[in-house]
């Protein structure tokens, strides 16, 4: 039996505003639809948040560095979409910058929107722009996305991904343990701590993680990263990182993306199901429905082709009971491992909704009770689920002024 979810939720990462911006005909002349926080197409919308028991959603201003030359302008473009949405739905949701404001919204029955940035290139290496972001209400920022920038190096360098080409130089399974923060990056993390902006190490290289540990003192987060021991993708944290993060008082947010959950070399059933649903009836050639011979590069290219061909996923069709079950159980397995290694205080949620492909096998924000059920099966008590869904992240937010 799956019970209703009566635990409050804080979700540390989604790309919903980017998606609205991308699909908003006003912002993007090629877009054909107009989305807002009520759109059913979104994995996170206001209704799903209410159904799921959300208190706080972090909305990331996702700076897609290969898509824009002016990352600061991109931040401002996304910010205006965020502001517009907050204005339209001001009776239902409003922006917050600390725990007190979250409590106040809870008291009057409103949802809270916590403003974050994904990609430190938004600041273009200029500390004044960091102060500008803070003044706009940003209280959390990943230092990098998947490109090196003024502040440091990522674990996956998307600029070095090569497709069907012998000059393959970047693997999702080989971490970067030598290139960490730049001098500018060190200056930034110190300033972020001083002004009260949470440092987010998701996407950062392994070397960068240890630089953050070395040059800072306060709790920081990995807003949307799982356990590398369970799935070897380098977007996930090693056991040592999980331990260090826990000792610092930080949290890592469970990410529901297939690529960061499953080890495709051993999770054969999941791989087969994912490929079946991902590519069935898409009319794309050269697709192996069993997924047996596909390496990461092939899959990455197929993702691009789906995007390029504007093939949309039929979510009603892809989310079979079995697919869901496997996904939730795998998320719970990551949760169990992370808590065993880093302690009960180190875990939160970081869905990556509206940034992850819809073949991930995860229903949306309204179905978090299923995740609670899977966590119960992993031996977590009601109180511990509350820690994971809400209290651990709230503890970090309480450090903000
Ligand atoms: Zn991300």
Nearest to 353 by CA among 367, 373, 340, 341: 367
Q: How far is the CA of 322 from the centre of ligand 1 (A)?
A: 26
119 CA distance to ligand 1 middle (Å)? 9
Torsion sign (Cα): 253, 317, 266, 161: negative
Distance 222 CA to ligand 1 centre (A): 10
**Dist. CA 312 → ligand 1 center (Å):** 21
CA–centroid distance, 275 to ligand 1, in Å, is: 22
Class of residue 237 by CB neighbours under 10 A (exposed 0-12, middle 13-18, buried 19+):
buried
Inter-residue contact 27 to 36 (CB < 8 Å) = no
CA–centroid distance, 3 to ligand 1, in Å, is: 30
Is 204 or 262 the better-scoring residue by pLDDT? 204
| Gap from CA of 118 to ligand 1 centroid (Å) | 7
With bands split at pLDDT 50, 70 and 90, how would you rate the model's confidence at 266? low
Q: State the pLDDT at residue 83.
A: 97
Q: What distance in angstroms lies between residue 1's CA and the mean position of ligand 1's atoms?
A: 33
Confidence grade of residue 363 (pLDDT, cut at 50, 70, 90):
low
β-strands 54-62, 93-96: how paired?
A: unpaired
109-121, pLDDT tens digit by residue?
999 999 999 999 9
Q: How large is the average pLDDT for residues 46-57?
A: 93
Q: How far does the centroid of ligand 1 lie from the alpha carbon of residue 285, in Å?
A: 29
Q: What is the CA(202)–ligand 1 centre distance, in A?
A: 7
Give 358 Cα–ligand 1 centroid separation in angstroms. 15
Average pLDDT, integer, range 361-379: 83
| Residues forming a β-bridge with 88 | none
Confidence category of residue 164, pLDDT binned at 50, 70, 90: very low
CATH code matching the domain that covers 9-263+319-397, chosen among 3.40.50.2000, 3.20.20.140, 2.40.50.100, 3.30.390.50 = 3.20.20.140
CA 136/CA 198 separation, integer angstroms = 15
State the distance from the centre of ligand 1 to the C-alpha of 153, rounded, in angstroms: 14
Predicted local distance difference test score (pLDDT) of residue 29: 62
CA of 303 to the centre of ligand 1 (A): 16
Residue-wise pLDDT for 13-24, tens only, equals 999 999 899 887
Distance from the alpha carbon of residue 248 to the mean position of ligand 1, in angstroms: 22
Q: How far is the CA of 224 from the centre of ligand 1 (A)?
A: 7
Question: What's the 60 CA to ligand 1 centre distance in angstroms?
Answer: 9
- Ligand 1 centroid to Cα of residue 162, in Å, is 20
Q: Where are the alpha helices (DSSP H) in 180-294?
A: 183-195, 206-215, 239-248, 258-261, 268-279
107 CA → ligand 1 middle, Å: 31
Condensed to tens digits (0 to 9), the pLDDT of residues 121-130 reads 999 999 999 9
Task: Return the SS3 of 324.
Answer: helix
At 337 the three-state DSSP class reads helix
Q: With cut-offs at 50, 70 and 90, classify the pLDDT of residue 159.
A: low
pLDDT for 168 beyond 50? no
Span from the CA of 267 to the centroid of ligand 1 (angstroms): 23
Euclidean distance between CA atoms 244 and 374, whole angstroms: 26
Whole-number Å distance, alpha carbon 282 to ligand 1 midpoint, is 26
CA distances from 285 to 122, 163, 201, 279, 290 (A): 38, 17, 38, 10, 14
24/334: higher pLDDT? 334
In our burial notation (b when 16+ CB lie closer than 10 A, e otherwise), range 219-231 reads bbbbbbbbbbbbb
- 3-class SS of residue 384: helix
Could you report the per-residue pLDDT of 199-246, keeping only the tens digit for each? 999 999 999 999 999 999 999 999 999 999 999 889 999 999 999 999
Q: How confident is the model at residue 59 (pLDDT cuts 50, 70, 90)?
A: very high
Measured between alpha carbons, how far is 33 from 235 in angstroms, rounded to an integer? 32
* Cα-to-centroid distance, 261 and ligand 1 (Å): 14
CA 62 to ligand 1 centroid distance, Å: 8
- Residue 17 CA to ligand 1 center (angstroms) comes to 13
Average pLDDT, the chain: 83
Q: Which of the residue ranges 78-87, 88-97, 163-172 would you say has the lowest mean pLDDT?
A: 163-172
End-to-end CA gap in the chain: 42
Residue 235 burial by CB count (10 A; 0-12/13-18/19+): exposed, middle or buried? buried
Render the burial of 2-28: b for 16+ CB within 10 Å, e for the rest. eeebebbbbbbbbbbbbbbbbbbeeee
Q: Residue 268 — pLDDT band, cuts 50, 70, 90?
A: low
Integer CA distances (angstroms), 391 to 12, 179, 319, 325, 384, in order: 12, 34, 30, 26, 9
């Amino acid at each position: 039996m799956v019970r209703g979810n009566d635990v409050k939720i804080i979700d540390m990462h989604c790309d919903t505003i980017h998606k609205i911006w991308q699909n908003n005909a006003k912002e993007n002349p090629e877009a054909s639809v107009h989305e807002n926080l009520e759109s059913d197409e979104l994995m996170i919308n206001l209704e799903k948040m209410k159904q799921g028991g959300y208190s706080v959603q972090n909305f990331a201003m996702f700076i897609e560095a290969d898509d824009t030359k002016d990352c600061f302008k991109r931040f401002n473009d996304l910010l205006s979409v965020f502001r517009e949405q907050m204005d339209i739905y001001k009776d239902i949701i409003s922006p917050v910058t600390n725990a007190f404001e979250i409590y106040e919204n809870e008291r009057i029955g409103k949802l809270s929107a916590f403003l974050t940035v994904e990609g430190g290139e938004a600041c273009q290496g200029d500390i004044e722009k960091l102060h500008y972001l803070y003044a706009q209400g940003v209280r959390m920022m990943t230092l990098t996305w998947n490109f090196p920038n003024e502040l440091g190096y990522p674990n996956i360098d998307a600029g070095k991904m090569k497709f069907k080409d012998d000059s393959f130089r970047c693997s999702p399974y080989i971490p970067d343990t030598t290139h960490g923060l730049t001098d500018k990056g060190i200056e930034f993390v110190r300033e972020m701590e001083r002004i009260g902006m949470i440092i987010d190490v998701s996407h950062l290289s392994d070397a960068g993680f240890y630089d953050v540990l070395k040059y800072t003192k306060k709790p920081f987060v990995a807003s949307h990263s799982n356990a590398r021991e369970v799935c070897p993708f380098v977007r996930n944290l090693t056991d040592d990182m999980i331990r260090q993060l826990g000792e610092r008082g930080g949290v890592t947010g469970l990410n529901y993306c297939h690529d960061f959950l499953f080890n495709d070399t051993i999770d054969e059933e999941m791989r087969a199901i994912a490929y079946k649903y991902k590519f069935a009836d898409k009319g794309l050639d050269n697709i192996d429905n069993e997924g047996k011979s596909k390496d990461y590069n092939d899959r990455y290219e197929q993702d691009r082709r789906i995007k390029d061909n504007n093939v949309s996923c039929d979510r009603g069709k892809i989310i079979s009971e079995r697919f869901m079950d496997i996904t939730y159980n795998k998320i719970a397995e990551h949760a169990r491992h992370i808590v065993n290694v880093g302690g009960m205080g180190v875990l939160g949620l970081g869905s990556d909704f509206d940034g992850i492909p819809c073949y991930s096998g995860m229903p949306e924000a309204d179905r978090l009770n299923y995740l609670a059920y899977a966590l119960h099966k992993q031996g977590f008590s009601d109180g511990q689920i509350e820690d994971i869904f809400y209290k651990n992240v709230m503890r970090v937010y309480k450090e903000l002024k």
